[in-house]
Amino acid sequence: MATRILIVGGGLAGTIIANGLCRQVGDEISKGNISITMLGTSETHMYQPGLLYVPFGKIREKELFRPQRKVLDKKIIFHVDPAKNIDVDSQKVTTESGKVYEYDYLVIATGSRIMPQNIPGMVEGAHWLYDLDGARKMRDALEAFEGGKIVVNVNAPHKCPVAPVEITFMLHDYLSKKGLMDKTEITYTYPIGRVHALEPVAEWAKPAMDQHGIKYETFFNTKEVDPKAKTISSEEGVTLNYDFLVTIPPHNGAEIITNSGLGDGGWVPTNKTKLLREGSENVFVCGDTTNIPISKAGSTAHFEADTIIDNLTSLITEKRWARDYDGKVFCFVETGMNSGTYVWFDYNTPPNPGAPSQMIHWFKLAYNRLYWLSARGLL
Ligand SMILES: Cc1cc2nc3c(=O)[nH]c(=O)nc-3n(C[C@H](O)[C@H](O)[C@H](O)COP(=O)(O)OP(=O)(O)OC[C@H]3O[C@@H](n4cnc5c(N)ncnc54)[C@H](O)[C@@H]3O)c2cc1C
């Protein structure tokens, strides 16, 4: 009988793994010795990092989407039928439509989701760009903005660790170019005692914020937003007035993870090098949904996916492990509308952001297009 690989989640991690496996074991799939089935929620694949450019009118929405079936290798069996329950003891996944899928190896790649509803008043009072609807609304509101107090409010956990500083510097640049910065004040809030969780990024971002006249309020754990009074308050007792509130909402993992009893908050306890679910020998976890204390980022998911592809291939064809995941993450960081830098780090090497340049910004724009090759397992 064929070795059955089941992938739950057709986002960045699930897609890279599925296509990467086809490149490694395509012949075995053709011979009927291995099957790959993916369960997803949509016929459409969205490139989430592109959302960053929507509020600033810097990307056509069409560039963010591709039909999922065209992104996937034809050897992959793809169903738009969200998983409803994952039973790791009986090695079965039940879907919304009532179908039951048995597996030999399972990959959980169900990502994370924004939870603005967890903070009173946030849905009504704040803008965000973490989903398409929010990014569109923020674009329209920014177009109408004529100056005033802007608060960029950061909550944890959230995906894309550098997005908050990118949004802040891009806002500053966008409003400067519109001639509105002389009547605008930007205040950035962060939940811990510095402006970024990664210390070297905080050390780089703080003087850059000072230079741009951007204020910051650290130890700001959001308690509530009052959309009528236009205030945002912290658990620490600080209240800020705003005319325009941008938030990085808190995130949870997917509902199915908590509903299946696989992890609090939707985060699956995961071995940080083997990327196996703790307690399982045949359940891999990839991308935002792990509880590994590293950045929830597309590049994290990509480097993890490459490790899982190699290990699954080796386990099935040679009964041995290929390698460990070393915690590698690489992120481009926009530092304005025309400049950028980058950070990379792993479990042993801290990040070290370099001087921003226009060339690195162009690299980031180029990667936004190259992503589609990456998702197909070609990059
Ligand atoms: C505005 C923004 C900017 C970003 N910028 C960057 C960046 O510059 N660099 C970077 O590296 N990362 C960036 N990211 C983060 C990156 O997009 C995510 O970390 C990445 O998509 C994680 O991949 P994933 O596969 O774990 O999750 P996702 O890509 O979110 O995929 C999860 C998939 O699982 C599906 N799913 C959920 N529940 C079920 C279910 N029950 N059954 C079946 N399927 C299910 C979801 O619908 C989704 O398709 C950014 C994200 C945003 C929002």
Q: What is the pLDDT of residue 247?
A: 98
Nearest one of 305, 371, 276 to 24, comparing CA atoms: 305
Cβ contact 157:296 at 8 Å? yes
Report the alpha-carbon distance of residue 236 to residue 91 in Å, rounded.
46
CA distances from 277 to 4, 125, 207, 345 (A): 18, 38, 40, 23
Q: What does residue 35 show for φ and ψ, rounded to 5 degrees?
A: -125, 145
**Inter-CA distances, 196 with 119, 139, 166, 174, 297, Å:** 21, 25, 12, 22, 15
Q: Which among 12, 133, 168, 289 is the best mutation to test ligand 1's pocket, defined by most ligand atoms within 8 Å of the CB? A: 12
d(CA 64, CA 361): 18
Q: How many CB atoms lie within 10 A of CB 84?
A: 17
Give the percent of the chain with pLDDT over 70.
100
Q: Could you read off the pLDDT of 288-305 as tens digits, one per residue?
A: 999 999 999 999 999 999
Q: Residues enclosing ligand 1, CB less than 6 A?
A: 8-14, 39-41, 48-49, 51-52, 82-83, 109-111, 129-130, 159-160, 163, 254, 256, 287-289, 296-299, 301, 331-332
Which residues pair with residue 140 across a beta bridge? Answer: none
Domains along the chain with CATH numbers: 3-111+254-329+371-375 (3.50.50.60), 115-250 (3.50.50.60)
Task: Report how far ligand 1's centroid is from the alpha carbon of 183 (Å).
Answer: 36
What is the best residue among 42, 93, 110 to mutate for testing ligand 1's pocket, by most ligand atoms within 8 Å of CB? 110
Residue 330 CA, closest ligand 1 atom number: 11
Q: How far is the CA of 110 from the centre of ligand 1 (A)?
A: 8
pLDDT of residue 72: 98
Portion of the chain with pLDDT greater than 90, in percent = 98
| 324 burial via Cβ count (<10 Å: 0-12, 13-18, 19+) | middle
End-to-end CA distance of the chain: 32
54-58, 87-91, 332-336, range with the lowest pLDDT: 332-336
- Please state whether 104 falls in left (phi above 0), alpha (psi between -120 and 50) or beta: alpha
Among candidates 336, 311, 338, which has minimal Cα distance to 325? 311
Residue of minimum CA distance from atom 44 in ligand 1: 9
Q: What is the mean pLDDT of residues 22-50?
A: 97
Question: How many Å lie between the centroid of ligand 1 and the Cα of residue 303?
Answer: 14
Tokens of 229: 């009074």
Q: How remote is the CA of residue 240 from the centroid of ligand 1, in Å?
A: 31
What does the pLDDT read at residue 185?
98
> Ligand 1 mean position to 270 CA, how many Å?
18
Average pLDDT over residues 264-277: 98
Length of the chain as a residue count: 379
346: tokens are: 């792993």
249 vs 116: CA distance, rounded Å: 5
Cα 8 to middle of ligand 1, angstroms: 13
Q: Contact 147/46 with Cβ under 8 angstroms?
A: no
In this structure, which residue's CA is closest to atom 48 in ligand 1? Answer: 11
What are phi and psi for residue 166, nearest 5 degrees?
Answer: -60, -50
Q: How far is the CA of 1 from the centre of ligand 1 (A)?
A: 33
Cα distances (angstroms) measured from residue 264 to each of 95, 160, 222: 21, 21, 21
Ligand 1 centre and the CA of 10: distance in Å?
Answer: 9
**Token pair recorded at residue 341:** 């830098």
- Token readout for 96 is 């919304």
CA of 355 to the centre of ligand 1 (A): 28
* Position 214 pLDDT exceeds 90: yes
Closest by CA to 107, choosing from 377, 309, 294, is 309
Report the distance separating Cα 69 and Cα 45, nearest Å.
Answer: 9
Which residue in 256, 261, 254 sits closest to 89, CA to CA?
A: 261
Q: Is the pLDDT of residue 379 over 90?
A: no
C-alpha torsion 90→38→52→272, nearest 10: 40
- pLDDT-derived band at 37 (thresholds 50, 70, 90) equals very high
Pocket test for ligand 1, best of 160, 252, 255 (most atoms within 8 A of CB): 160
The pTM for the full model equals 0.97
Predicted pLDDT at 299 = 96
Consecutive H or E run containing 71: helix 68-71
**Which atom of ligand 1 has the smallest separation from the CA of 300?**
11
